[in-house]
Amino acid sequence: MSAAFEDALARSVQNWCAGATGIRAAAQLSGGASQETWAFTIVRPDGDIDAILRRAPPGYGAAPSRAAGLDAEAELMRLSYDAGVPSPRVLHVLTEADQCGTGFIMQRVEGETIPRKILRDAQFATARPMLARQLGGILAGIHGIESAALPALRTMSSTEEIAQLDAEYRSFGWPRPVFELALRWLSRHDPGVSKKITLVHGDFRHGNLIIGPDGVRAVLDWELAHLGDPMEDLGWVCVNSWRFGEIDKPVGGLGSREEMFAGYEAGGGNVDADRVKFWEVMGTLRWGIMCCGMMQRFRQGPDHSMERAMIGRRSSETEIDLLRILAPL
């Protein structure tokens, strides 16, 4: 963090946080493909506050068409927090007067986001058996937020999603028979417009969940939030890529679909298992096409990062996953 930016952030905090005298220990965190994330501490005589700044990088252009926008993300997190969904408390949305860019500041939530630790470390042993059901209940809470209270969000139907994935896949010019199979299956099983349209998180999975020994503490990264079929979130969290080797536990390597469904219904939601399967196939194909996109960017440059190549390689894993679902032995 540059001295000028740190000074601007300190002035901002003093303007909106009662009793704040400045900030300390500011450091940029890793992670986040399109946004910057900074950790810092707000200094107050009555007790310091550990905070997180999420903002658009300087010079960052228009947000991708799928992105909800940082102001909308902040509002969604506020609504979730108020609705009892585990979420960081939003402290402040940046304005032009703050001179810190576009973004928002939230209270830091302690916990773990790294899947291999959550799935294997002893400190999470007590939490693991209850997490699949808990995730179902959290999704029911998200989907139950009143539509009238939501900020402006895009609406995405399954038919539109299929068309977008088809166009993106064909733009690469790399024929992949398994992707062709998946696209045909999706078109034949397209459920069309859902009878119930709700808020959809859009990226509900490991990496976007803070988990402690007591369970889920916060849902993060609302960048892909939109209006649509609530079963999309239930299908996405079951994509095999988010199980990290625990393939016999479909819900993020943590438990069964039935456990998640039970938590969802206990939270007031209604499950349509066939639609969940449809969105699991859709999510698996989507991740495969995203991996291909990373390889495309690696090939074309100018940034030939090894990370992009490694993610690009994972497209072959999604082909195996699709065959396991659509053509089981």
Q: Select from 61, 90, 107 the last residue of a domain.
A: 107
Q: Select from 57, 72, 107 the last residue of a domain.
A: 107
CATH code (residue 171): 3.90.1200.10
Q: Which domain holds residue 67?
A: 3-107
49, 42 Cβ separation under 8 angstroms: yes
Non-local CB neighbours of 169 within 8 Å, separated by 6+ positions: 176, 179, 183, 289, 292
pLDDT single digits (tens) 260-275: 999 999 999 999 999 9
Q: Which pLDDT belongs to residue 304?
A: 72
Same domain, 177 and 119: yes
Mind giving me the DSSP string for 267-315? TT----HHHHHHHHHHHHHHHHHHHHHHHHHHHH-S---HHHHHHHHTH
Instruction: Output the average pLDDT for the chain.
Output: 93
CATH code (residue 98): 3.30.200.20
Rounded distance between C-alpha atoms, residue 131 and residue 68, angstroms: 27
Cite the DSSP H helix spans in the chain: 3-16, 70-82, 115-120, 128-143, 158-172, 177-188, 231-236, 257-266, 273-300, 306-313, 315-326
- What sign for the dihedral angle of Cα 151, 156, 311, 129? positive
Name the nearest CA neighbour of 38 among 24, 30, 28: 28
Q: Which pLDDT belongs to residue 1?
A: 67
Q: Select from 59, 77, 107 the last residue of a domain.
A: 107
Q: Which pLDDT belongs to residue 62?
A: 47
Same domain, 181 and 268: yes
Rounded distance between C-alpha atoms, residue 230 and residue 9, angstroms: 38
Domain count, the chain: 2
Same domain, 21 and 143: no
Extract the residue ranges of the chain whose pLDDT is less than 50: 61-62
Same domain, 301 and 163: yes
In angstroms, the first-to-last Cα distance of the chain is: 54
Q: Model-level pTM?
A: 0.93
Rounded distance between C-alpha atoms, residue 329 and residue 327, angstroms: 6
Same domain, 25 and 152: no
Same domain, 152 and 209: yes
Same domain, 199 and 84: no
Pairing label, strands 90-93, 103-107:
antiparallel
pLDDT single digits (tens) 264-311: 999 999 999 999 999 999 999 999 999 998 887 777 777 677 777 788
* 47 alpha-carbon distance from chain centroid: 31
Name the nearest CA neighbour of 33 among 318, 300, 251, 297: 297
Q: Which pLDDT belongs to residue 34?
A: 65
Same domain, 171 and 290: yes
Name the nearest CA neighbour of 53 among 99, 92, 21: 92
Same domain, 172 and 226: yes
Same domain, 82 and 128: no
Strand partners, 256: none
Same domain, 189 and 262: yes
Same domain, 39 and 167: no
Q: Which pLDDT belongs to residue 72?
A: 96
160, 211 Cβ separation under 8 angstroms: no
Rounded distance between C-alpha atoms, residue 305 and residue 307, angstroms: 5
Q: Which pLDDT belongs to residue 303?
A: 66
Q: Which pLDDT belongs to residue 258?
A: 98
